[in-house]
Amino acid sequence: MLPRLPANVLRSRWTLTGIPLVIAALGILAVVAIEREVDHRADDRIRERASTVVMTLDRRLDAYTDVLYAVRGLFQATGRPTHAEFRAHVRAQQVAERYPGVLAVGFAEYATREQLPDLIARVRAEASLPGLGYPEFRVRPPGDRGERLVATYIEPEQGNGPAFGYDFLWEARRRAGVRIAWRSGRPAASAPIEPEHGTGSAGLGFVLFLSVPGDPQRFRGAAYAAFSMDDLVRRSLPADLDDGDLEIRDESQVTFDDDRDTDARDGAGETLDVFGRRWSVAYLPHGPVASGLERAFGWIATLGFVIVAILSAQLLHSLAATERRARRLAERMTRELADSNTELERFAYVASHDLQEPLRSITAFTGLLARQYDGGMDDRGRGYLRHIERSAVRMRELIEDLLAYSRVMHGTPQPCDLGAVWRQAVGNLQGGIVASGAKVTADALPTVLADGPRMVQVFQNLISNAIKYRGEAPPEIHTSARRTGRAWEIAVSDNGAGIDPRYQDKVFELFERLDGGDVDGTGMGLSICKRAIERFGGRIWVESTPGEGTTFRFTLPAA
């Protein structure tokens, strides 16, 4: 209760006019502070979208190098394949289906001035065989040069005829990419170019090279893949990024611009290192990122501030000072935590790239061995190859799960429709559900405060575990929800084999498996679930009786 003021103070002009003016000034300051906070959150969302673009393109381009390593492995294993063998090899990779945005895949052969006539005669003889459909082989652009790197293999040949016989050392931008790949032995990208491949493509593109050494380790040529920037970007990014202007630059040159009437650099920017090139990625939303409710919140808070200030100005001043100190402390701790998470995520990405490169070589060579020497192997040799392939696949899954575990803290809690999330998770697992004959059902699920992509991971891991660790009967998996105060409790139940009580406290630890059998997995799925649920302020636990099924329960704040 406020102290009783003397009557002369209440009658003073300062009391009658000064207090309302002070309250008005504090209200204006509150509006400004809240507007700044809303703008800060909007900027964070824009930066998060730009980061999503960069991470998506980075993962997609990194996966595309598998095609180049496969071509290099083919030439190292066979010496010089025929054009028919090369076509069969590329088609077996299912490039069009697995790597959208690739215009062509091929091999360019190095030749000196003296070697060029023999190269032309040999390629013409091989490429003119019936059924291949290659155009007449001509080295272009013409001219007398001391060395050339000529495209002697190309798939698909339709639409890429002008690139058959093209000399990659003739033009400076392509030549620079070839030289980097030659010296480093790793994939290297060219500067932006007008594509010679894919006559139906528009705009700029680039070529990705990977050197193929000869014997003894001399430069023999390069595997290459040609890309259209427009196709690559539009077919790689999620649909929810269509509400803004996306712009990509290689140094100062614009290679992709979704809206030429706006400058995306007024929004958020990120950089992406692409095999020796540095791309600048900018994203600017077309409309306001902050909702009308967020904008109105400033005025609502101001009204409440005025009412409370009139009743207890002195107490409000003390609380406001305390709140400001707490906000400064929270902002400082948030910045420090964000910096730490950014460094950890960057380290995880770099480590994953370095770890996955030898795995690609192992996978490529075991595939070549299986195809080239299958008839000359006994059952023991084939068993060794299968064991190597399984080990490489498990290592890749382990790396991917470690990355997923490190990214869990990246999600921002916001209203999340668990019904839509559950349907997406079930759709992603449709192949396994059909193969196992599982019956997967759910009650009406609520909207909670969480992050959609992370919750898709949670449901996928829980449903996938129920399918993997099923009993003798076909799996029956049901998801339900019930309100518990300010939170929702979600239950995912199955009729599987159950979990021994001795292990129920360990299943959420890293690399722990539910049993020691031959069930696929890395033992990280439930750890990812636990980290995600706790990130959004909830908790997760398991209830199970061996032979009677399992129920995983977790709580999340209501939206």
Question: How many CB atoms sit inside 10 A of residue 429's CB?
Answer: 18
Q: What is the pLDDT of residue 380?
A: 82
Query: Which token pair is 390?
Result: 């399984």
Q: Which token pair is 365? A: 């060579």
Give me the pLDDT at residue 517, please: 47
Joined tokens for residue 535: 């990130």
| pLDDT for res 287 | 64
Q: pLDDT tens track of the chain, all 559 residues?
A: 445 555 555 456 565 566 667 776 776 776 676 667 666 776 777 788 788 888 888 888 888 899 999 999 999 888 889 999 999 998 888 887 888 778 899 999 999 999 999 999 999 998 888 888 888 899 988 888 889 999 999 988 877 878 899 999 999 999 999 999 999 989 999 999 987 655 444 578 999 999 998 765 577 899 999 988 888 888 877 766 666 788 999 988 999 888 888 888 888 888 999 999 999 999 888 766 555 555 565 567 666 656 755 665 555 455 445 556 757 776 777 676 656 666 666 656 665 666 667 777 777 777 777 777 767 778 888 787 787 877 667 666 666 656 655 555 556 789 999 999 999 999 999 999 999 999 999 999 999 999 998 899 999 999 998 998 888 889 999 999 999 999 999 999 999 988 888 877 788 876 555 554 455 555 677 888 998 899 899 999 999 988 889 999 999 999 8
The domains of the chain are located at 80-233, 411-557
The answer to whether the predicted template modeling score (pTM) of the entire model surpasses 0.85 is: no
Q: Rounded to a whole number, what is the distance in angstroms from the first to the last CA of the chain?
A: 35
For residue 146, is it left (φ>0), alpha (ψ between -120 and 50) or beta?
alpha
Structure tokens at 36: 């700044």
Using alpha carbons only, give the angle 164, 165, 169 rounded to the nearest 5 degrees: 120
Q: Is the four-CA dihedral 383, 387, 393, 397 of positive or negative sign?
A: positive
pLDDT at 370: 75
pLDDT at 38: 64
The residue ranges of DSSP E strands in 262-409, in sequence order, are 268-274, 277-285
189 Cβ contact partners less than 8 Å away, ≥ 6 residues apart: 177, 206, 207, 208, 209, 274, 275, 276, 277
394 CB-side CA count, 13 A: 13
Longest dimension (CA), the chain: 112
Element (H, E) at 203: none
* Domain 411-557 bears CATH identifier 3.30.565.10: yes
Which superfamily does CATH assign the domain made up of 80-233 to? CHASE domain (3.30.450.350)
